Every structure is written in C-alpha cells, then in structure tokens.
Amino acid sequence: MQTAKGSESPVVIYTNLTNLKIEARELGTEKTWTVTPDEGQFYNAILSHDGKKVAVHNGADIYIYPIDGKAKGQKLGTGIATAWSDDDTYIIGFLDESENGHTVSNSELYLFDVQNSRTKKITNTEEVAEMFPTIHRDKVIFADDKTGRIFKATLNLK
C-alpha cells in the first residue's frame, strides 16, 4: 500500500485481493475507485513520486496507469518493477531466468523508459544474479540473489 502525496486528502493505492484489481482510496472522504479497469489480475502497485501514475504487474508484464482510473494501461515491458527514478521518467526492475521453472539460474537489471515504452537491459552477468534494484539520483543499488551482497553503481540515464 502506498500513499499519493500532494493532494488535499491523501490517496492510498493497494491491491484488492478479492478481485485482484489495483484500487485507490481517498483517505479524507473514503471515496474508492478502481485504477486498473482492464481485464487481468493486477498486483504490486508502485506509486510514482508525483503521485499521478502507478506501475503495476499483470502476470509477468508491467503496465503504467494514471491513478484516476480513467485510462487503459500502457504496457511497459516484462519483468519485476521495483522503483521509479526520482523524476518519474524511468522504472527500474529485473527479470530472472529459471532452467527448471523453480530455481533462479540468473537475473539481470532492466531500465524501463516510461515516456517511450522502451526497455534497456543494463546488466549482463553470469556470476551475479541482480535483483530488487532501487534508484537514488544517478545511483542504482541492488542485491545479488546468489550471495546476498549489496552493490551500488552509477546509472547513466541519458
């Protein structure tokens, strides 16, 4: 659950576990609405810093929706989205691989350009399974799923 900032009454974004839709609730009025009007089973809502958009998952795909619920989703790519860039122009995430469908054999980081719906693979390693990245300014911080080590690297967003 995340709260949108900047409005007179805060708005909370969450997954309704009954219908697997992303919903919003204005805390001051208790008004509730569906953010994801499309068909699907939505989960893992990540609210943008400006509080106007939300990245959600429908299966393995990532979509962007305005929080007002008045528009269809924009498919951004495939993977697990984990954080918005500070200016809300990118989403960082990862895509893991499995040889047997159960155990992760590798994982790489991806940068999703929200405006242009483009995906860029930003790591390509066999010895590190990069997962759960976050962005802070020009830095990306992520974990290696194989060892638990935490890494920090400069991220070129241009």
Surface-to-core class of residue 26, CB atoms within 10 Å of its CB (0-12 exposed, 13-18 middle, 19+ buried): middle
Count the Cβ atoms, other than its own, within 10 Å of residue 29.
8
Residue 120 in contact with residue 113, Cβ under 8 Å? yes
Query: So what's the pLDDT on residue 4?
Result: 66
Contacts of residue 9, Cβ cutoff 8 Å, sequence gap at least 6: 26, 27, 28, 29
pTM as predicted: 0.88
CA–CA separation, 128 and 143 (whole Å) = 9
- State how far the Cα of 47 lies from the Cα of 54, in Å rounded to an integer: 4
Q: How is the chain split into domains, by residue range? A: 1-78, 79-158
Tokens of 116: 């242009």
Chunked into runs of 10 residues, the chain (158 residues) has average pLDDT values of 65 94 94 95 95 95 96 94 96 88 84 94 92 94 94 86
